[in-house]
C-alpha cells in the first residue's frame, strides 16, 4: 500500500511539474555557444572544410571524443565510457535508483558530411543539461547525455553499431562480419583504438546495459529534409522513426565483347540490376503509402568498360518504412523480382541481408513533454515522421523514446553545406532541456508533494 501511494503521488507531482515547465528559465542556453562548439568539433576531420569526414576509431574520431568529453567535464557531469566507446555523461538525480532520462546522438561523420548531423544531439544535449543547472533545476531521476559509437555506416557498412551492441540487439556473429574498405575488422579497429577485447562476444557482454537503466530517451537532431523550413515551423515533434532493410544483390553472367556478342546471346548482369532497380521502385509505389521508400543507391559493375558486356553487377537496395510488415512485404517482393529477373536474363543471382532494423514509435508521454516545452518557449511546431534512421529508434526497443527536429536549410544533410541557424539550434536545445526536466521530474517538487 505505501508503495502504491508513493507511486500515485509521484505521478501527480510529474503532472503538476509538466504544467509548470514554463517556469524554468533556460535563457542561459545560447545557440551561438553551441554553434561555436560544433564548428570546433568540425575541425577534427580527414577532409577539408566545409566538409567533415570522421570515421569511427580513426585518429580524428579519437580527438573529437576527447573534445566532447572535455565539454562533458566542463558541464560538471560524471563520465563513463563502455568497452566500445559509447560514452555516458551523468547528472545524478535525487533518486539514483531510478533509470536515467537520457539524451544524445553520435559524433562520427560519414565521408564528406557536414558539421551538424548527429553532433548537435551530443553537443546540444550537454548544453541542455548545463542550461538546467544554470537555472537551478535539480532532477529527481538521473539525466545522462550519451555519445554513441559509430552511428554512421560508412566505415563498416552498418548504421547504429554502438546502440545496437549496447542494447544487445546485434549478435556477436554479425559483429564478426563487420569489415571496412581496407579489410580491417570491427574487432581489430576497436582494439587498435584502445578498446580491448579478445572477441566480439566479449565486447558484447561488456557493453550490454542493464534492464531498466534508461527510463526514457530523447534525441535532438536536424531534420535532414525540407519540410520544417518549407512550411515555416521551428520545431518538430517526431511521432515515428522509419527503419531500413539493406539488401545486397549480385548478378553474374558470361560477359563478352561489346561488338562480337549478338544481342540474342547475351546475359548482361548490368541490365539485370537495372531491371531489378525498377522493380524496387514499383514495389514501393504499389504499397500506396508515402511512408514506403525503396532506393537502389549503390552499384558496382564488372568490368565496367565501354567495350565489354557487364559480366557481374552488385546492387545495394535500401527499403524503409515506419510499418515493419509493409516494409518487409516490399523486401519479399524485391527478392522475388531478383529471382524472376535472373531467370528471364539467364544470369546467376545471390542475395544477402546486410541489416534489417526495427522501426520505432515515439512514446506519448515524450511527445507530450516536447509539445509542452515548445509551447513554453513560444516555438511553432508540427508532428512529423522521421524517414531517416537514428539511435533513438534502437533505444526505442528497450525504453520509451522520442525525438525533436529543428529545420535543415534547403533540406540538406550528409552534405558539407548542411546548416541550421543559431536561432533554430537555440530553440531546439531549450526545448530539449525543458523536455528532459519534465521527464526527470523536479526533486524539489517531489519532496513538496510527499
End-to-end CA distance of the chain: 15
Same domain, 339 and 445: no
Same domain, 213 and 238: yes
Give me the residue label for grid cell 525503396. Answer: 294
CA distance 101 to 243: 23
Helix 2-19 crosses helix 364-376 at what angle (to 10 degrees)?
Answer: 40
User: Which residues pair with residue 249 across a beta bridge?
Assistant: 315, 351
Residue 21's pLDDT is what?
55
Helix 364-376 crosses helix 422-440 at what angle (to 10 degrees)?
Answer: 130
Same domain, 238 and 261: no
> Domain span at residue 277?
243-356
Provide mean pLDDT across the span 210-226: 97
Residue 23's pLDDT is what?
73
Residue 449's pLDDT is what?
54
Looking at residue 348, which CATH number applies to its domain?
3.30.70.360
Provide mean pLDDT across the span 149-175: 95
Query: Between β-strands 243-252 and 312-321, what pairing exists: parallel, antiparallel or unpaired?
Result: antiparallel
> Within the chain, what is the greatest distance between any pair of CA atoms?
88
Provide mean pLDDT across the span 408-436: 97
Provide mean pLDDT across the span 381-405: 96
For residue 81, give every residue at least 6 positions away whose Cβ sits within 8 Å of its Cβ, in sequence order, or none: 69, 87, 88
For residue 42, give every residue at least 6 positions away whose Cβ sits within 8 Å of its Cβ, in sequence order, or none: 49, 50, 52, 114, 115, 119
Same domain, 225 and 105: yes
Provide mean pLDDT across the span 431-442: 98
CA distance 64 to 81: 14
Same domain, 120 and 209: yes
Task: Give the confidence band of 9 by pLDDT, cuts at 50, 70, 90.
Answer: very low
pLDDT, the chain, mean: 94
The residue among 303, 327, 356 that closes a domain is 356
User: Which residues pair with residue 400 across a beta bridge?
Assistant: 216
* Number of structural domains the chain divides into: 2
* pLDDT tens digits, one per residue of 344-362: 999 999 999 888 888 999 9
The residue among 356, 371, 406 that closes a domain is 356
Looking at residue 414, which CATH number applies to its domain?
3.40.630.10
The closest of 314, 190, 323 to 251, measured between CA atoms, is 314
CA distance 297 to 41: 29
Same domain, 214 and 154: yes
CA distance 240 to 381: 16
Residue 7's pLDDT is what?
39
Query: In the predicted model, is pLDDT for residue 2 greater than 70?
Result: no
Residue 447's pLDDT is what?
57
Task: Give the confidence band of 373 by pLDDT, cuts at 50, 70, 90.
Answer: very high
Same domain, 252 and 229: no
Coil, helix or strand for 23?
helix
Same domain, 424 and 343: no
Provide mean pLDDT across the span 240-257: 96
The closest of 247, 244, 267 to 350, measured between CA atoms, is 247
C-beta separation of 151 from 109 below 8 A: no
Same domain, 107 and 225: yes
Same domain, 213 and 289: no
Task: Give the confidence band of 6 by pLDDT, cuts at 50, 70, 90.
Answer: very low
The residue among 356, 371, 395 that closes a domain is 356
* pLDDT tens digits, one per residue of 15-62: 444 545 557 999 999 999 999 999 999 999 999 999 999 999 999 999
Going from the C-alpha of 87 to that of each of 35, 116, 126, 138, 155, the distances in angstroms are 21, 19, 12, 23, 20
Query: In the predicted model, is pLDDT for residue 259 greater than 60?
Result: yes
Give me the residue label for grid cell 542494447. Answer: 167
Same domain, 204 and 249: no
* pLDDT tens digits, one per residue of 170-196: 999 999 999 999 999 999 999 999 999
E strand spans, 161-269 = 214-222, 235-241, 243-252, 256-257
* pLDDT tens digits, one per residue of 273-299: 999 999 999 999 999 999 999 999 999
Query: In the predicted model, is pLDDT for residue 450 greater than 70?
Result: no
User: Which residues pair with residue 39 across a beta bridge?
Assistant: none
Same domain, 163 and 258: no
C-alpha cell at position 290: 508515402
Query: In the predicted model, is pLDDT for residue 8 greater than 70?
Result: no
Per DSSP, helices labelled H in 253-376 are: 269-286, 324-345, 364-376
CA distance 218 to 396: 10
Query: In the predicted model, is pLDDT for residue 87 greater than 50?
Result: yes
For residue 379, give every residue at least 6 positions away whose Cβ sits within 8 Å of its Cβ, in sequence order, or none: 234, 235, 427, 431
Residue 54's pLDDT is what?
98
Half-sphere exposure at residue 325, Cβ-oriented, CA atoms within 13 angstroms: 0
Amino acid at each position: 500500500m505505501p508503495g502504491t501511494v508513493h507511486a500515485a503521488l509521484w505521478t501527480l507531482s510529474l503532472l503538476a511539474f509538466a504544467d509548470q515547465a514554463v517556469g524554468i528559465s533556460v535563457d542561459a542556453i545560447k545557440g551561438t555557444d553551441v554553434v561555436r562548439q560544433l564548428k570546433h568539433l568540425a575541425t577534427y576531420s580527414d577532409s577539408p572544410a566545409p566538409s567533415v569526414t570522421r570515421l569511427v576509431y580513426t585518429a580524428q574520431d579519437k580527438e573529437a571524443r576527447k573534445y566532447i568529453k572535455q565539454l562533458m567535464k566542463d558541464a560538471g557531469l560524471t563520465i563513463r565510457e563502455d568497452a566500445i566507446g559509447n560514452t555516458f555523461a551523468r547528472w545524478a538525480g535525487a533518486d539514483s535508483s531510478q533509470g536515467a532520462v537520457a539524451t544524445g546522438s553520435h559524433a562520427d561523420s560519414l565521408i564528406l558530411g557536414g558539421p551538424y548531423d548527429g553532433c548537435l544531439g551530443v553537443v546540444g544535449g550537454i548544453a541542455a543539461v548545463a542550461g538546467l543547472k544554470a537555472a537551478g533545476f535539480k532532477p529527481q531521476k538521473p539525466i545522462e547525455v550519451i555519445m554513441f559509437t559509430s552511428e554512421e555506416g560508412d566505415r563498416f557498412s552498418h548504421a547504429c553499431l554502438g546502440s545496437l551492441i549496447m542494447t544487445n540487439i546485434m549478435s556477436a556473429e554479425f559483429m564478426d562480419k563487420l569489415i571496412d574498405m581496407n579489410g580491417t575488422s570491427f574487432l581489430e579497429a576497436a582494439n587498435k583504438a584502445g578498446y580491448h577485447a579478445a572477441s566480439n562476444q566479449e565486447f558484447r557482454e561488456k557493453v550490454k546495459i542493464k534492464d531498466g537503466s534508461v527510463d526514457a530517451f530523447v534525441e535532438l537532431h536536424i531534420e535532414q529534409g525540407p519540410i520544417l523550413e518549407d512550411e515555416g515551423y521551428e520545431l518538430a515533434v517526431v511521432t515515428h522513426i522509419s527503419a531500413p532493410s539493406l539488401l545486397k544483390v549480385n548478378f553474374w553472367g558470361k560477359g563478352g565483347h561489346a561488338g562480337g556478342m549478338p544481342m540474342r546471346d547475351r546475359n548482361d548482369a548490368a541490365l539485370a540490376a537495372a531491371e531489378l532497380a525498377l522493380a524496387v521502385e514499383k514495389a514501393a509505389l504499389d504499397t500506396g503509402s508515402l511512408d514506403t521508400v525503396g532506393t537502389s543507391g549503390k552499384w558496382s559493375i564488372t568490368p565496367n568498360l565501354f567495350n565489354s558486356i557487364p559480366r557481374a553487377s552488385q546492387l545495394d537496395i535500401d527499403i524503409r518504412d515506419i510499418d515493419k510488415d509493409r516494409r518487409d512485404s516490399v523486401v519479399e517482393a524485391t527478392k522475388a523480382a531478383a529471382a524472376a529477373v535472373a531467370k528471364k536474363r539467364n544470369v546467376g543471382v545471390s542475395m544477402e541481408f546486410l541489416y534489417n532494423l526495427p522501426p520505432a514509435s515515439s512514446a506519448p508521454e515524450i511527445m507530450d513533454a516536447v509539445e509542452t516545452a515548445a509551447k513554453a518557449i513560444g516555438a511553432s511546431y508540427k508532428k512529423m515522421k522521421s524517414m531517416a534512421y537514428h539511435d533513438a529508434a534502437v533505444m526505442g526497443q528497450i525504453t520509451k523514446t522520442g525525438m525533436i527536429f529543428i529545420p535543415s536549410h534547403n533540406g540538406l544533410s550528409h552534405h558539407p553545406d548542411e546548416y541550421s541557424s543559431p536561432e533554430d539550434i537555440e530553440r531546439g536545445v531549450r526545448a530539449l532541456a525543458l523536455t528532459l526536466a519534465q521527464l526527470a521530474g523536479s526533486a524539489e517538487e517531489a519532496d513538496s508533494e510527499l
